[in-house]
Amino acid sequence: MIAAWIGASYLLGAIPTSYLVAKWGAGIDLRRVGSKNLGSTNLFRVLGWRYAIPVGLFDIGKGAIPVALFGRWAGGSALLALSLGVVAVVGHAFSIFVGFRGGKGVATGAGALLAFLPGGFAVAVAVWSLTLWLTGYVSLASILAAAVFPLAGYVIHPAQRETIPLQVGLALAVILLHRANIVRLLRGTEHRFHRGSGKQQTS
């Protein structure tokens, strides 16, 4: 029975939201434009907020539902619930529906966090927002938010400390999915979110 919930979590996470919205809404293959990443940031870069915000919210739901609902219905532990959220992130990053490509797991991972560790989620969002405001880099904001949430979870949610290894694993996965961004950040060629125009541009 648990295997069925794992499969459901993967398939939910694997729904290629950005790809479908860009394809159906604008006739664009998101794998061929912008950063070629199937995430809401690239969707925003190509088509703007009108497309990116609903997709981002849906992707958050893809992480929250396995934790909040599938984990409860499976009758498992807190560790199982968070594990299902991690599986959804894997589905998002390696979707079977688009040749095992996908996004970088930030929104879906955030949804899992929101459902499992709301206090840690709040800290991660604060770090993400402050980093983006100070630097203009979405990727750096996402990396730092991922790095900080296991520590925030440890401090704010002591009852869930048994899941710290899984939280660390999720954070490392999100960071590794940004490895190309890390290279560009070090080279000074990463895309910057330009606050004045509300669009991304190359730094």
Confidence of residue 35 (pLDDT cuts 50, 70, 90): confident
DSSP secondary structure, 70-115, as one string? IHHHTT--HHHHHHHHHHHHHHHHSBGGGTTB---SHHHHHHHHHH
Residue 194 pLDDT: 55
pLDDT at residue 187 is higher than 60: yes
Q: How far apart are CA 70 and CA 55, in angstroms?
A: 21
Residue 39 has pLDDT above 60, yes or no: yes
Residue 203 pLDDT grade (very low, low, confident, very high; cuts 50, 70, 90): very low
CB atoms within 10 A of CB 76: 16
Q: Is the pLDDT of residue 31 over 60?
A: yes
Most confident range, picked from 6-15, 67-76, 188-197: 6-15
Which pair of structure tokens corresponds to residue 98?
A: 């688009």
More confident residue, 193 or 3: 3
Per-residue pLDDT reduced to its tens digit, 53-89: 999 999 999 999 999 999 989 887 899 999 999 999 9
Residues 48 and 56: beta-carbon distance below 8 Å: no
What CA–CA distance (Å, rounded) separates 170 from 42? Answer: 22
Rounded Cα distance between 16 and 40, Å, is 11
Kindly report the pTM of this predicted structure: 0.88
Domain count, the chain: 1
Distances (CA, A) of 13 to 59, 95, 107, 148, 181: 8, 8, 11, 23, 22
Rounded average pLDDT over 162-187: 93
The predicted pLDDT at position 183 comes to 95
Is pLDDT at 113 greater than 90 in this prediction? yes
**Burial class of residue 91, CB neighbours in 10 A (0-12, 13-18, 19+):** buried
- pLDDT by residue (tens digit) across 115-140? 999 999 999 999 999 999 999 999 99
Q: State the residue range of the domain holding 119.
A: 2-202
Residue 1's pLDDT band (boundaries 50, 70, 90)?
confident
Q: Decide: 162 and 82 in contact? Cβ < 8 Å.
A: no
Closest by CA to 36, choosing from 198, 196, 191, is 191
Residue 202: CA atoms inside 13 Å, Cβ hemisphere, count? 6
Q: Which residues of 156-180 are buried (b: 16+ CB within 10 A; e: fewer)?
A: bbeebeebeebbbebbebbbebbee
